[in-house]
Amino acid sequence: MSNEVQRQQFKSFLAQKGLRVTNQRLAILEAAFGQQEHFTAEQLLDQARRIDDSVSRATVYRTLPIMTESAILREIDIGTGEKFYRHTANNQSQMAQVVCLDCDRIFEISAPFMDWYGSTVSAKLGLTPVSQRLQVSAHCNTLRDTGTCRHRSR
């Protein structure tokens, strides 16, 4: 999905919610889609201010839930007290996260079985799944074996 499609989706979502399309919100959107890795709200703030220096911390923190509700971003909680985000440009909703406990890096892999699994177990209980996630915490084998981790410097 292109950034322009995402931009229009976001604008439509804002209009549907009765919210204004502002330059600051658009800068935050552009900053989010400029990220190649998972990012925090503070990292997003830094990137958004490079696009528009009037973007405030409060606007970023208010816009993130709107972006996740609109399905433009995924929110990832790895249990450290800080939330991470990733844009959904690849349009893969069934993703599993593997969190390296050594470098705090989040890896995502496609997990198409999750749709089947969520539907199957929910149906057995007479429920309809709304969301699900699979998250694995792991240690780096290379770090254990060699004392260095190629992902740690990123």
Q: Which residue has the higher pLDDT, 138 or 126?
A: 126
Give the whole-angstrom CA distance, residue 82 versus residue 57. Answer: 15
Q: Which of 24, 44, 46 is nearest to 35 (CA)?
A: 44
Domain boundaries, the chain: 1-89, 92-154
**Res 17: pLDDT:** 94
Under CATH, which architecture does the 1-89 domain have?
A: Orthogonal Bundle (1.10)
User: What is the distance, to the nearest Å, from the Cα of residue 100 to the centroid of all Cα atoms in its chain?
Assistant: 17
Give the whole-angstrom CA distance, residue 126 versus residue 51. Answer: 48
Q: Is the pTM of this model over 0.85?
A: no
Give the whole-angstrom CA distance, residue 139 versus residue 130. Answer: 31
The average pLDDT across 60-84 equals 88
Name the DSSP class of 137: E
Looking at domain 92-154, its CATH class is alpha beta
Q: Can you say whether the dihedral through the CA atoms of 142, 148, 152, 154 is positive or negative?
A: negative
DSSP string, 61-125: HHHHHHHHHTTSEEEEE-SSS-EEEEE-TT----EEEEEETTT--EEEEE-THHHHHHHHHHHHT
Q: Give me the percent of the chain exceeding a pLDDT of 90.
A: 38
Task: Answer yes or no: are the C-beta atoms of 57 and 69 closer than 8 Å.
Answer: no
User: Which tens digits make up the pLDDT trace of 75-119?
Assistant: 888 777 889 898 876 555 567 778 788 877 778 777 778 788 888
